Amino acid sequence: MLILSIIKNMVSKKEFRPLSPFATAFAVEYKSWMRGHDVTLQALADHLGRTAPYVQERVSGKRALDTLDIDALAELTNIQPRDLMIELSKRTKQTMFQEEQAALADKDARIARTMAKINDPKQRMELAAYHDENKEKGMDPFYGSKD
């Protein structure tokens, strides 16, 4: 009985292996292509002979798309599977490049703001000019007078 419940828990848990950034971005482009060509999850599921949740896991990037998914979408949108794969790959590469450029621009902007604060005379940081009243009085802050 215990073994049966353990097996049920293992089967019911949907543990997915994480996809690469490219595979995740590819799924986004796949879904975008579906929307652009008015292909519903149910239509794709029917064409594949699968359930809508099965298709949803792939389209959402939880599980990897495979060649059958590409072939089905290609057939539903009247394009050659090879051409669809190339087009989606190009779009994925372009999207990833744009996201990378945006992240770099954001990082550069943060650095520029920090440098502006450092170089602003009103907010100048006096890193090297540490001022300690105890040193001026000739006292060690931990042990009292140096004499």
- Cα–Cα dist 134/57, whole Å: 67
Query: How far apart are the C-alpha atoms of 54 and 26, rounded to whole Å?
Result: 17
- Please, what are the averages of pLDDT over each run of 10 residues along the chain (147 residues)? 55 68 91 94 94 93 92 95 94 89 84 76 53 59 56
Output the pLDDT for position 128.
46
Q: Residue 135's pLDDT is what?
A: 58
Whole-angstrom distance, CA of residue 98 vs CA of residue 96: 5
Assigned CATH class of 17-128: mainly alpha
Q: Where are the domains of the chain?
A: 17-128
What local confidence, expressed as pLDDT, does residue 39 receive? 94
Determine the angle formed by the axes of helices 21-36 and 67-76, rounding to 10 degrees.
20
Q: What is the pLDDT of residue 141?
A: 55
pLDDT at residue 115, as a whole number:
77
Q: How far apart are CA 70 and CA 51, in angstroms?
A: 16
**Rounded distance between C-alpha atoms, residue 25 and residue 28, angstroms:** 5
Residue 72 · residue 44 · CB < 8 Å: yes
